[in-house]
Amino acid sequence: MSFLGVNVDHVATLREARGTYEPDPVWAAVEAQLGGADLITIHLREDRRHICDRDLRLMMQTVSVPLNLEMSLHEEIVAVALEVHPPMITVVPERREELTTEGGLDVQAEVERISEVVKRFKDNGTKVSLFIDPEIGQINACRETGADMIELHTGPYAGSSGEKRAREIDKLTRGAAHGRKQELVVNAGHGLTYNNVPGIVETIKPCELHIGHSVIARSVFTGIRAAVEEMKDVIQKTLLMKG
């Protein structure tokens, strides 16, 4: 089984484009759940460029599947997350200039700092996932921090083709196997689409897939509920045929 986490940040981006109240990402989360999303993901960025504190707080009250909060280690964001108490957080690197998350966390370089944050969240009853590139050193460092899960960065796989893509799959497959050996739950995400998700499902068999852009892009034409149903269908058919 691969669970589907749907990231609804883009709906908030559209709202913020006009600085108005619509479209509401809280409604999007409801629609995604009706389409079968197993988790809802939002990224509360330091600059609040899309999701804002009100969205997070309302979703904590209204989302009935686990809410996964993507966040940096910025102290103000850590404080909000500890107070709001989501069931799951995913720690990501964050740069103001980036369009979306670029590259995985350098856990090896910051084991102590990350371990301290992981402990604060785990003591608070929140599961912690670390978003990383599929490198053995990073995976070992994640294990050292006490994190529950890793999310392997599938962006380079999504952005490549031919032999380069085959090499990315190989790295991800070895990373996933090593992560499981380290007793980490292995998730995957970034850049996944209706076309390229089967390649990840059949090789890595992640516990959770985290997908935003492709689902929200399709929803412009089909509505969010149908777009999520369709992505679940692609995942389930891949598992049935190749799982």
Could you list the active site residues? 43, 70, 190
CB of 130 to ligand PXP, least distance (A): 10
For residue 226, how far is the Cα from the chain centroid? 20
Among 33, 101, 145, 238, binds ligand PXP (CB under 6 A): 101
CB of 170 to ligand PXP, least distance (A): 21
Task: Indicate the residue among 7 and 123 with the shorter CB distance to ligand PXP.
Answer: 7
Classify residue 195 by its DSSP letter. T
d(CA 72, CA 92) in angstroms, rounded, equals: 5
C-beta atoms surrounding 172 within 10 Å: 24
CB of 39 to ligand PXP, least distance (A): 11
Report 178-197 residues binding ligand PXP (CB under 6 A). Answer: 189-192
CB of 189 to ligand PXP, least distance (A): 3
Among 71, 92, 197, 235, binds ligand PXP (CB under 6 A): 92
Distances (CA, A) of 46 to 53, 73, 130: 11, 10, 18
Classify residue 73 by its DSSP letter. -
Query: In the Cβ-directed half-sphere of 21, how many Cα atoms lie within 13 Å?
Result: 0
- Residue 23, preceding bond cis, omega within 30 degrees? yes
Task: Indicate the residue among 210 and 218 with the shorter CB distance to ligand PXP.
Answer: 210
Among 2, 68, 90, 138, binds ligand PXP (CB under 6 A): 90
Residue given tokens 């629609």 in the structure block: 31
Three-class SS state of 115: helix
- 55: contact with ligand PXP by CB under 6 A: no
Scored b (16 or more CB within 10 A) or e, 133-161 reads bbbeebbebbbbbebbbbbbbbbbbbebe
Nearest residue relative to ligand PXP (C-beta): 212
* Candidate segments 23-31, 45-53, 204-212, 228-236, binder of ligand PXP by CB under 6 A: 204-212
233 Cβ contact partners less than 8 Å away, ≥ 6 residues apart: none
43 Cβ contact partners less than 8 Å away, ≥ 6 residues apart: 7, 9, 50, 51, 69, 70, 71, 92, 101
Task: Indicate the residue among 134 and 189 with the shorter CB distance to ligand PXP.
Answer: 189
Site string for ligand PXP, 4-23 (x = CB under 6 A): ---x-x--------------
Among 175, 212, 219, 231, binds ligand PXP (CB under 6 A): 212
CB of 158 to ligand PXP, least distance (A): 7
- 43: contact with ligand PXP by CB under 6 A: yes
Query: Where along the sequence are the contacts to ligand PXP (CB under 6 A)?
Result: 7, 9, 43, 70, 90, 92, 100-101, 131, 151, 189-192, 210-214
